[in-house]
Amino acid sequence: MSVKIASVVPGSAAQRVGIQPGETLISINKNDIYDILDYRFYETEKRLRLVLQDISGKSREVEILKGEYQSIGLEFETYLMDQQHSCRNRCIFCFIDQLPKGLRKSLYFKDDDSRLSFLFGNYITLTNLSEHEVNRIIKMHISPINISVHTTNPELRVKMMGNRFAGESLKILYRFAEAGIQLNCQMVLCPGINDGAELERSLHDLLPLFPAVQSIALVPVGLTKYREGLYPLEPYTCDTARNVIEIAERYGQEMFEKHGNRVCYAADEFYLKAELPIPEAAFYGDFDQLENGVGLMANLKEEFLDAMEEMPEDLGKKPFRKVTLATGMAAAPFLNTLLDGLRQKCHNLSCNVIPIVNYFFGERINVAGLVTGGDLKKQLQGKDLGEELILPSVMLRHEGDLFLDDVSVKDLEKELNTPIRLVPEDGYALYRAVMGIEE
């Protein structure tokens, strides 16, 4: 395996020794280069010997002297330097299998790439890892790695993931833990399948791996209205969600008493489904699983209240301001309650929270990140939205311009005749947006 060089950064060490675009990078200091992880790991040394190959297949060596951790200055056709690894599983709960037809092509790609786990926090199932990749992660001590465990019962994992290697691949998790690789685990829970006694078994297996296993997120399965022909699954109810929380908090409390770290947490969505209050911020320790919606609301609340405490006295005396905040059905009551304190403090402020029903994916989907531009347009059109419409930025793709249904922010602004302000999942940013304070 080798990688072709797309360009050379002007003024870089690579340009100084005459490396040309179109050449192929074979090795660095006798270490074969397969992708971005190899390249970034082995380019850090001060003295490098690179083996290159030109278009005709002729090899040559160049020597580079540079500062430690200074980049060589090579750029490649793709960020990963090869193709992204796709998922080989057929999980019974897979959200991508529940998407309607006609969405942009990128939404249907299932990734299961260990490099993206380290670089961007994506979760991997371990079923896609070769022995070479496992050994490389251990050798390089790449950490943390985020793993979709779902269950530690090998037979059940095979059934849930639709992959005959899913049970065997669990051994890799234990190898990583033994090597001291930090692991963040997630378990997508399906009622009556991997919760209850099976959940207790999984926690009993995973928690002794602390501190290598630094966090475990329990997340409820998301079910759209497009499940025809798929494995029959039911959503969590108030009672079944409470059962999950009871197990999570019981095991978490045992870990807290032993190690001062709960490790195991139920996602905020479980508390909302169970109609139970979200724990305070201190409950979540270092917030290791915010991307899985674990402690997200507690963190947002703490930051928002801190921002209110720092509010200048004259801010509440400024001209009347009216804005609207639109979000998913699940978070709307929480945000409305959070804003009550600000409304009481600022009598010149009107901030209306509008929950958006998810007709696009189905009403059982109630998180903000899956609200579409079309549903926003239908449910907000004709309403007095005030000076600005505030939306969570998680509604948009990474580039920040399109909703899941390819409606653009500009088009929605035009349809609603209202400027849109996008807000990250950050209490300080939410406070500034509501109050009209520029960054």
Q: Are 263 and 211 in contact (CB under 8 A)?
A: no
Structure tokens at 162: 């639709």
Structure tokens at 193: 């399948």
| Residue whose structure tokens are 């050379």 | 8
Q: What was the pLDDT predicted at 347?
A: 83
Helix (H) or strand (E) holding 6: strand 3-8
Q: Among 21-35, 109-123, 382-396, which is the least confidently predicted range?
A: 109-123
Provide the H-helix boundaries in 48-151. Answer: 114-120, 131-140
pLDDT (average), residues 62-82: 79
Is the Cα torsion angle 189, 195, 201, 203 positive or negative in sign? positive
Average pLDDT of the chain is 89
Q: Which domains, ranges and CATH numbers included, belong to the chain? A: 3-76 (2.30.42.10), 96-294 (3.80.30), 301-435 (3.40.50)
Helix (H) or strand (E) holding 201: helix 196-206
Kindly give the pairing relationship between strand 3-8 and strand 24-28: antiparallel
Q: What was the pLDDT predicted at 66?
A: 85
More confident residue, 120 or 47: 47
More confident residue, 43 or 166: 166
Burial class of residue 103 (count of CB atoms within 10 Å of its CB; 0-12, 13-18, 19+): middle
Q: What was the pLDDT predicted at 130?
A: 84
Q: What was the pLDDT predicted at 422?
A: 96
Among 236, 257, 250, 172, residue whose Cα is nearest residue 204: 250
**Is a pLDDT exceeding 80 seen at residue 126?**
yes
> pLDDT tens digits, residue range 170-203?
999 999 999 999 999 999 999 999 999 999 999 9
| Residue whose structure tokens are 């804003």 | 339
**Is a pLDDT exceeding 60 seen at residue 267?**
yes
**Is a pLDDT exceeding 80 seen at residue 81?**
no
Q: What was the pLDDT predicted at 1?
A: 52
Burial class of residue 131 (count of CB atoms within 10 Å of its CB; 0-12, 13-18, 19+): exposed
| Residue whose structure tokens are 């040394």 | 45
3-state class (DSSP) for residue 193: coil
**Is a pLDDT exceeding 60 seen at residue 270?**
yes
Q: What was the pLDDT predicted at 430?
A: 96
> pLDDT tens digits, residue range 16-67?
999 999 888 888 898 888 777 778 888 888 899 999 998 888 899 999 988 8
pTM for the whole structure: 0.82
Q: How many residues does the chain have?
A: 439
Q: Are 101 and 40 in contact (CB under 8 A)?
A: no
Exposed e or buried b for every residue in 353-367, given b needs 16+ CB within 10 A? bbbbebebbbeebbb
Of the chain, the percentage scoring pLDDT greater than 90 comes to 63
Q: What was the pLDDT predicted at 80?
A: 53
Of the chain, the percentage scoring pLDDT greater than 70 comes to 92
**Is a pLDDT exceeding 60 seen at residue 85?**
no
**Is a pLDDT exceeding 90 seen at residue 215?**
yes
85 to 73, 106, 127, 128, 214: CA distances (angstroms) = 25, 14, 11, 8, 26
CA distance 5 to 194: 46
Amino acid type, 326: A
Q: Could you tell me which residues come within 8 angstroms of residue 339 by beta carbon, excluding any fewer than 6 positions away?
A: 325, 351, 353, 434
CA distance 175 to 123: 17
**pLDDT band (50, 70, 90) for residue 117:** very low
Q: Are 48 and 73 in contact (CB under 8 A)?
A: no
E-assigned strand segments in 58-102: 59-65, 74-76
For residue 41, the number of C-alpha atoms closer than 13 Å in the C-beta half-sphere is: 20
Structure tokens at 34: 């397969």
**Is a pLDDT exceeding 50 seen at residue 113?**
no
Chain-centroid distance, C-alpha 52: 37
Exposed e or buried b for every residue in 116-125, given b needs 16+ CB within 10 A? bbbeeebbbb
> pLDDT tens digits, residue range 399-434?
778 999 999 999 999 999 999 999 999 999 999 999
φ, ψ for residue 437, nearest 5 deg: -90, 125
**Is a pLDDT exceeding 70 seen at residue 340?**
yes
Q: What was the pLDDT predicted at 268?
A: 97
Structure tokens at 437: 């304070």
The full DSSP string for 346-365 is -TTEEEEEEEEP-TTT-TT-
Q: What was the pLDDT predicted at 110?
A: 57
Q: Among 73-77, 225-229, 242-246, 263-267, which is the least confidently predicted range?
A: 73-77
